[in-house]
Structure 1
Amino acid sequence: MEKNGILDPDDWGAFRVEARRMLDAAISQMQVARDRPWQPVPEDLEARYAIGQADQGDLVARLVEEVLPHHGGNIHPRFWGWVQGTGLASDLIAGMAAAAVNANCGGRDHGANRMERAVIDWTRQAMGFAEGASGVFTSGTSQATVLAFQAARVRAVPDLRQSGQGDRRLTAYAGAGVHNATLKALELLGIGSQNLRRVPLRDGQMDPQALRAMLAEDRAAGAMPFLIVGTAGSVDLGLFDDLNALADLAAAEGLWLHVDGAFGAWTRLAEPPWRGLSDGIVRADSLALDFHKWMYVGYDCGLVLMRDAAAHRAAFAARPSYLAGAEAGLAGGEPWFCDYGIDLSRGNRAIKVWCALEMFGAAAFAAAITDNCRQAAQMAAQVEARDGFALMHPVVSNICVFTAAAEETPERQSQINTQIAMALQLTGSAVFSTTDVAGTTCLRAAITNHRTRDEDITAALDAVQEMRLRV
């Protein structure tokens, strides 16, 4: 129907009824998530989504029938394929409040910016950073990494924003298994992927001795080392660098230490021994992490913390006349988050975290994170107890990597494990991903799922064992 530019409902009472129908359906989706694994997407679904092609009648019914069933699988308790969070019931409440207010968190004086500062401060304390550290919410660790690297680059080259990098060859250093977000950030900033130096690992951690030698070699060749990237939770195996050793080295060499803690930073909330994995994280110059991974909130929701607030602001602050602040009124409310990142228009991501912490309490998240680590260890123990199964690396945190065909050649193991992963996904039994270890494609469970229960571990491995007999 032609609306003549009026975009509010004609009948708010009728809209209220429809909105409640949608809320009930969304709650049911979460309540019975165990019964709703991933399923293959119907071939005609994209055509049904085409704008203006379908009957405009019952929008809520279309959402329930054509959207809710076709999720990415991560709401299910046996989804461990990739490091993805599961979403929380509190997200529904947060989403409604955020939509009603429609806050732009780039700046100005309103409640959403103060909420973001409160959640940043809670995270700062959880990570052990000193009062006065700075932070800004991002879409995720990939964006957070770009912001951190830019701050590191501006510290290394103070006139960078005005004069550019020039012919300086800046070099960065990370362990051999560093996440691709580091590579992308260096490419986006014009530093170049060839200037990411991959440091060999020793016992699963970046080798400080090898790093020192590489720094000396690069400086002798005219390069300008500026950044070390430590890993708190590698994506393949869940490994952690010795962050204290890296902090010592960074301080001695005058380099910026960044920590990729996308999911692993949250071991700071876990019980021993897992909490100790991220010891030293407080000494980082910057830390990137995600709430939408191991804090389970809905997408997207990341954060970068920086120890030096002045260095953070120096990398991004820019206030043209149309963004001038004021002592009072809507143009007040310093600091503005647009001075701490690349976004001027920003939604209220912090509200999801705030609602989650207020609804469940921080202790509940600590218990869930600890449970996930314990469940990965439980999976490892069961793998070692089953004939034909073998761990491909000891479990360090929340990731278990194994083969279901240990008696076969590496090539045949790779084929079998790949087929098992796909078959289990298609049947809805469980979602494992695959990764390569020493040339063999293995099954990988990354457990960042608050809905997983101990019995899911056993049931999933039973399904692997049964599928092994068929492939």
Structure 2
Amino acid sequence: PEASNEQWKKHFIHTGHLGSQEFAQVMNHTTAAMKAVFEQVNAPYSGLEPKILENAINAVDLDNKNASLHDVISDTAELIAKNSIIVQHPDCIAHLHTPPLMSSVVAEAIIASLNQSMDSWDQSSAATFVEQKVVDWMCDKYQLGAQADGIFTSGGTQSNQMGLLLARDWIADKLSGHSIQKLGLPDYADKLRIVCSKKSHFTVQKSASWMGLGEKATLAVDALPNGTMDVTQLDAVIHQAKAEGLIPFAIVGTAGTTDHGAIDDLVAIADVAQQYDLWMHVDSAYGGALILSSHKQRLQGIERAHSVSVDFHKLFFQTISCGALLLKDKHNFKYLLHHADYLNREHDTLPNLVDKSIATTKRFDALKVFMTMQNVGPQQMGAMYDHLLEQTQQVAQLVRQHDAFELLAEPCLSTVLFRAVNTQASDLDELNKTVRLQALVRGVAVLGETIVDGKTALKFTILNPCLKISDFESLLAKIETLAVELAK
């Protein structure tokens, strides 16, 4: 047994000089391997045929290899890293998927090495206070008030789910003193309705289904051509629902829709929520970062929300995953509270973050924001957003002026929706679908694809503040060349 014990030691980080020395050697080799990958990148994807890549990965022996960690790192860099989507490349511009700040990457290494579990203070002493510090700082930025609080999440999906789950439990408590936590859904659950825009994120519908209300529980309000909710319809939608004996209980505003980047009129939504005593949830996973920029007035009304979703792994440039749910009234976290004798005992005086989370074991993601704001700072971050929004307008103008493309929507945030047009193509929808796919698998570019007014659109999601207009001119030229070839 003792011989085995010695053999196993090499696989772990140890305290003391020898353990720290081995850790440093492994991390240094990893850094060198990734440095070589980034130095050799000349395309957003290697262009390796997908089936060949799949076969190569499936051929890796997970049962009998027992290679040195040095070799595993080198092999991983060669097979995995070199054939990954390179988010730092100028022509990787499809999704809400940012190049991460180095402060966040460094924090990620610290997070992994410390392996803090964010459920109880005795597993995450300093980490618990760091998360609370960052949460309080964010609540202050959104001006949610003295009773505000929050919790870190895996991202917008979990944040939206939590916000709407709390709204569901809140309405049952308010209407009839019913505890869904203790007793399950009330007998009027099939009448509960969530009001949202037709352009709201699909997780609103998913949350309704997860909560036992069904996707039918969402009442979708029409969107205007710019992608924002038509708030003039809200009264009619709510009145109609009430006339049918339904119970609207929550309204969702979006600060940055996925395709258009549209920001709903949050003041108007807040007014309606106040008038009808509805829970107001704001999904600001995309646009919430504007709170640090000169455009923060576009988020006016967010301070009146009951709950707010924020994604740090989008425009805060943090590594995935990193999100948060913020509440205007921290007492509403009571709908999640459950005491476990082994974990968060009722007599505990130190804070246990599991008290306000749907997760138990949770990552120390707050460290990334904590370190970034000390290093980059909110002023520089805000300046990056100002630059991105201005550049998006410039790129849209390039598309307008280009005979080979058609701009399909006016940019609202940092997305450009357009399509390739070619007189030789019999079907422009099929042409643009093929352009996106071929650009990806050939390693030309990673482009987004969506539908705008029934037309297949290509999408630039402009999230890299280091890019120049010349990068976009070059990218458009590559797309035009590819479209001409495919149209033939």
TM-score by length of 2: 0.88
Q: State yes or no: 1:267 paired with 2:290.
A: yes
Q: Post-superposition shift, 1:3?
A: 7.3
3-state SS in 2 of match to 1:402: strand
> Who is 1:448 aligned against?
463
> Who is 2:103 aligned against?
90
RMSD (CA atoms): 2.3
Supply the distance in 1 between the matched residues of 2:424 and 2:141 (Cα, whole angstroms).
46
Question: Relative to 1, partners in 2 of residues 1:276 and 1:34: Cα closer, same or farther, differing over 3 Å?
Answer: farther
3-state SS in 2 of match to 1:436: strand
Letter in 2 for 1:439: G
Question: Relative to 1, partners in 2 of residues 1:349 and 1:27: Cα closer, same or farther, differing over 3 Å?
Answer: farther
Corresponding residue pairs, total = 461
Q: State yes or no: 1:433 paired with 2:448.
A: yes
> Who is 1:143 aligned against?
158
Supply the distance in 2 between the matched residues of 1:426 and 1:462 (Cα, whole angstroms).
18
Counterpart contact for 1:33–1:76, Cα < 8 Å:
no
- Cα deviation per residue 1:41-84 (whole Å; 9 max; x = unaligned)? 51323224441254613222122212221323323232221111
Q: State yes or no: 1:19 paired with 2:27.
A: yes
Supply the distance in 2 between the matched residues of 1:74 and 1:382 (Cα, whole angstroms).
23
- Cα deviation per residue 1:131-170 (whole Å; 9 max; x = unaligned)? 3311100111101111111111111011221222233121
Supply the distance in 2 between the matched residues of 1:91 and 1:49 (Cα, whole angstroms).
30
Counterpart contact for 1:404–1:465, Cα < 8 Å:
yes
Q: Post-superposition shift, 1:24?
A: 2.7
> Who is 1:199 aligned against?
221
Supply the distance in 1 between the matched residues of 2:281 and 2:134 (Cα, whole angstroms).
21
Supply the distance in 2 between the matched residues of 1:422 and 1:136 (Cα, whole angstroms).
38
Q: State yes or no: 1:362 paired with 2:383.
A: no
Q: Post-superposition shift, 1:449?
A: 2.4
Q: State yes or no: 1:106 paired with 2:116.
A: no
Corresponding residue to 2:45 among 38, 49, 55: 38
3-state SS in 2 of match to 1:120: helix
> Who is 2:274 aligned against?
251
Letter in 1 for 2:210: L
Question: Relative to 1, partners in 2 of residues 1:55 and 1:337: Cα closer, same or farther, differing over 3 Å?
Answer: closer
Counterpart contact for 1:108–1:332, Cα < 8 Å:
no
Q: Which moved more, 1:134-143 or 1:344-353?
A: 344-353
> Who is 2:198 aligned against?
176
Q: Which moved more, 1:141-150 or 1:412-421?
A: 412-421
**1:7-406 correspondence runs (5 A):** 7-9=8-10, 12=19, 13-27=21-35, 29=37, 32=39, 35=42, 37-39=44-46, 40=48, 41=50, 42-54=53-65, 56-57=67-68, 58-108=71-121, 110-158=125-173, 159-168=179-188, 169-203=191-225, 204-272=227-295, 275-311=296-332, 313-325=333-345, 332-334=349-351, 336-405=352-421
Supply the distance in 2 between the matched residues of 1:105 and 1:59 (Cα, whole angstroms).
30
> Who is 2:14 aligned against?
none
> Who is 2:474 aligned against?
459
- Cα deviation per residue 1:415-471 (whole Å; 9 max; x = unaligned)? 121122122223333221111111110111111224433322111111122222212
Supply the distance in 2 between the matched residues of 1:261 and 1:408 (Cα, whole angstroms).
42
Supply the distance in 2 between the matched residues of 1:232 and 1:252 (Cα, whole angstroms).
21
Supply the distance in 2 between the matched residues of 1:408 and 1:170 (Cα, whole angstroms).
52
Question: Relative to 1, partners in 2 of residues 1:260 and 1:439: Cα closer, same or farther, differing over 3 Å?
Answer: same
Question: Relative to 1, partners in 2 of residues 1:15 and 1:125: Cα closer, same or farther, differing over 3 Å?
Answer: closer
Supply the distance in 1 between the matched residues of 2:242 and 2:5 (Cα, whole angstroms).
63
Counterpart contact for 2:149–2:326, Cα < 8 Å:
yes
Letter in 2 for 1:413: L
Counterpart contact for 1:375–1:457, Cα < 8 Å:
no
Q: Identity over aligned residues, as a percent?
A: 25
Letter in 2 for 1:37: P
Q: Post-superposition shift, 1:347?
A: 1.6
Question: Relative to 1, partners in 2 of residues 1:427 and 1:371: Cα closer, same or farther, differing over 3 Å?
Answer: farther
3-state SS in 2 of match to 1:35: coil
Q: Post-superposition shift, 1:18?
A: 2.8
3-state SS in 2 of match to 1:106: coil
Letter in 1 for 2:24: R
Supply the distance in 1 between the matched residues of 2:153 and 2:449 (Cα, whole angstroms).
28
Counterpart contact for 1:414–1:440, Cα < 8 Å:
yes
Supply the distance in 2 between the matched residues of 1:50 and 1:75 (Cα, whole angstroms).
30
Q: Which moved more, 1:192-201 or 1:89-98?
A: 89-98
Letter in 2 for 1:315: Y
Q: Post-superposition shift, 1:97?
A: 1.8
Q: Post-superposition shift, 1:36?
A: 5.0
Question: Relative to 1, partners in 2 of residues 1:372 and 1:173: Cα closer, same or farther, differing over 3 Å?
Answer: same
3-state SS in 2 of match to 1:157: helix
Q: Post-superposition shift, 1:269?
A: 2.0
* Structure 2 residues without counterparts, runs of 5 or longer: 12-17, 174-178
Counterpart contact for 1:79–1:449, Cα < 8 Å:
no
Counterpart contact for 1:432–1:444, Cα < 8 Å:
yes
3-state SS in 2 of match to 1:470: helix
* Structure 1 residues without counterparts, runs of 5 or longer: none
Supply the distance in 1 between the matched residues of 2:452 and 2:388 (Cα, whole angstroms).
22
Q: Post-superposition shift, 1:116?
A: 0.5
Question: Relative to 1, partners in 2 of residues 1:161 and 1:96: Cα closer, same or farther, differing over 3 Å?
Answer: same
3-state SS in 2 of match to 1:394: coil
Supply the distance in 1 between the matched residues of 2:41 and 2:57 (Cα, whole angstroms).
26
Q: Post-superposition shift, 1:248?
A: 0.2
